[in-house]
Amino acid sequence: MQDSIKDKVIRIGTRGSKLALWQAEHAAEKLQAAGLKTELVIISTKGDQVLDRSLDKIGSKGVFTEELEVSLREGNIDIAVHSAKDVQSTIPDDLELVAFMEREKVNDVILSFDPNFKLDRDSNVVIGTSSTRRKALLKKHYPNVTTAESRGNLQTRLRKLEEKQFDALMLAYAGVYRMGYDNMIVHTFPEDEFVPAAGQGSVAIECAKNLQPELKAAIKDALNHADTYVCLLAERAFLRTMEGGCSIPSFALATLTEEGGVSINGGIVSLDGETLLQKTMSGTAAEAESLGVQLANDTLSNGGEEILTSIKRERSEI
């Protein structure tokens, strides 16, 4: 390791929730294993502060990342650690995503205190979720289910579940597993039917483009998972072309094929669940980004544009 960075303390910016801290500490452990020194810097974001409104009503662009990005620009932190699915589709020109950490299982799951809870097409239950995508896909596949807004960290949502504000919670497996609540999982959705949000299950590492090159390279070497990186290039290219954030019910999941190529399954669903556009495209790993763009353009030209226009119109009327 170069002398110029071996004594450098890498300041890791993170939100303060237990899950965010787990992610930041996980990154810190890997950096320390590579011989680098670390320090956590906790930063509160708009998404943490405003909990009485759904994401689409507070403006989802950068709602969980903006304050961290300000700290990167001001040099108060060296890297920011995010849930990859929370990162806006377009990164500011002076910042970059330098690494994507190894992905956890990507599925959406249902949590309940009742181990006998069953979900089927005729289920008439209330499920808590703050995700526009999950709400729309539930309407598509489980038309009798009612959804209730469920903002806040995992522990807050579990408290609301315990208070019987809803019958069950719908969440990403990764966060549930990392927080040790996987014993409460009563249903796992197949990822080809409930395709996850772009980036779900991975941790993204962001830095300023002008970060010392040797330090940037050391961080990438310690934290980046090559296979995950390729898949997320495809998914984020899809998201960027769709111009969708976490308040748009689009979805994308890229996987590596046995031959070393990339396959991406993605699309969009209308808010009422009536129209579902979904398609899979495959190519070489070198074509990952162009595949994401191609799939998004195909989706937009085959009804996706109309769905997005309808969503924007509906929200402007609220």
E-assigned strand segments in the chain:
9-14, 37-42, 79-83, 95-100, 108-111, 126-128, 146-148, 168-172, 185-188, 203-208, 250-256, 262-269, 276-283
* Number of residues that this document lists for the chain: 318
Token pair 């995950």: residue:
228
d(CA 85, CA 89): 9
292 burial (CB, 10 Å; 0-12 / 13-18 / 19+) is buried
Which stretch of DSSP H or E encloses residue 226?
Answer: helix 226-242
The answer to whether 130 and 172 have CB atoms below 8 angstroms apart is no
| Whether 86 is catalytic | yes
**CA distances to 21, 28, 150, 160, 270 from 16, in Å:** 6, 15, 18, 20, 33
Q: Which of 81, 181, 85 is nearest to 133 (CA)?
A: 85
- Classify 41 in phi/psi space as left (phi over 0), alpha (psi -120 to 50) or beta: beta
- CA 119 to chain CA mean position, Å: 24
d(CA 187, CA 117): 8
Q: Identify the active-site residue in 48, 56, 78, 86.
A: 86
d(CA 41, CA 61): 22
Tell me the catalytic residues: 86
